A and B are shown apart, each in its own frame.
Chain A
Amino acid sequence: GESVGLHLPTLSVQEGDNSIINCAYSNSASDYFIWYKQESGKGPQFIIDIRSNMDKRQGQRVTVLLNKTVKHLSLQIAATQPGDSAVYFCAENMPGANSKLTFGKGITLSVRP
C-alpha cells in the first residue's frame, strides 16, 4: 500500500495489500484520537482509538500510530479487503469539560479486486 496525506482524496490499493492512511492533526493539546470509517449514506463507524500517552495501538487487522512530536496519526490496515472500501476520517479530542471531536478532511479508500 502507499502512504498518503489527507489532502489527497483517494487511496487505491490492491486487495490483499496493506493500506496506510495518514492524518495531520491540528492541536497539540488533543489527548485522544479516533479513526472512523464511513460508508456512503451512513454515520461514522468506530475503528480504533488511541490516547496521547501511547504511540501505538493494535486491533484486529488495524494499527494506529501516533507521533505527537509532529502531530501525526496513521491508520494501517493489513490485508485490505473489498469491504474496507469507504471514507476514513481521523478525529481529535480536546480535553476539558466541553470536550468535543474535530474531524479531519477524510480520504476515500478504494480496494481493487
Chain B
Amino acid sequence: GAVVSQHPSRVICKSGTSVKIECRSLDFQATTMFWYRQFPKQSLMLMATSNEGSKATYEQGVEKDKFLINHASLTLSTLTVTSAHPEDSSFYICSARDSRQGKLFFGSGTQLSVL
C-alpha cells in the first residue's frame, strides 16, 4: 500500500530554535499534502493545505510566519516551526493525497517538545 514517510518521529529543542519536519510520499505523487496538529487526548486540527508549486493555504488562526510550509516537489512537503516556544509542543501529522487515486494517506507523526 501507499506509504507516507514523516521525519523526524520525535524532536526535542530549545525555545527559540526552528524545527523542520519532512513529509514524503514514497510510492505515489501528491500534489496536495495536509498538515495537522494534535494535542494530547484531542482530535486532529488541520493547520494548512500544501499545494505543490504554490503557496500553502492556512486555516484560520494559524500563523503563516510561524509555521512555514514548502511543497517543492510532488513527493515532499516540509513544515518548519520557526522560533519554537513551549506552547508549540504538540504532535504534528502530515497526510498526502494520491494524485491518481484521490485517496489520503497519513504519516506516522512527529512529537515536538520545546523546552
Q: Are B46 and A43 in contact (CB under 8 A)?
A: no
Chain B CB within 10 Å — which of A9, A43, A46, A105 has the most? A43
Q: Out of A34, A42, A43, A98, which one reaches B49, CB within 8 Å?
A: A98
User: CA separation between A104 and B42, bound complex, in Å?
Assistant: 9
User: CA separation between A24 and B107, bound complex, in Å?
Assistant: 26
Q: Please, which residue of chain B has its CB at the minimum distance from the CB of A45?
A: B106
Chain A CB within 10 Å — which of B34, B43, B49, B109 has the most? B43
Interface size class of A (residues with CB under 8 A): 10 to 19
How many Cβ-Cβ contacts under 8 Å join chain A to chain B? 44
Given contacts A89-B44, A103-B44, contact A41 B93 (CB under 8 A): no
Q: Are A44 and B44 in contact (CB under 8 A)?
A: yes
Q: Please, which residue of chain A has its CB at the minimum distance from the CB of B59?
A: A100
User: CA separation between A44 and B49, bound complex, in Å?
Assistant: 17
Q: Out of A34, A44, A89, A101, which one reaches B46, CB within 8 Å?
A: A101
Within 8 A of A (CB), among B1-35: 4, 6, 34
22 CB contacts below 8 A, A to B, read: A34-B104, A36-B106, A42-B108, A42-B109, A43-B93, A43-B95, A43-B109, A44-B44, A44-B106, A45-B106, A46-B105, A98-B49, A98-B57, A100-B34, A100-B46, A100-B49, A101-B46, A101-B104, A103-B43, A104-B43, A105-B42, A106-B42
| Besides A43-B106, A101-B46, 14 other A-B contacts (C-beta < 8 A) | A9-B41, A34-B104, A36-B106, A41-B91, A41-B109, A42-B108, A43-B6, A43-B107, A46-B104, A89-B44, A101-B95, A103-B36, A103-B44, A104-B43
Give the top 8 A-B pairs by smallest Cβ distance, nearest first: A43-B106, A103-B44, A103-B43, A43-B109, A43-B108, A44-B106, A106-B43, A43-B93
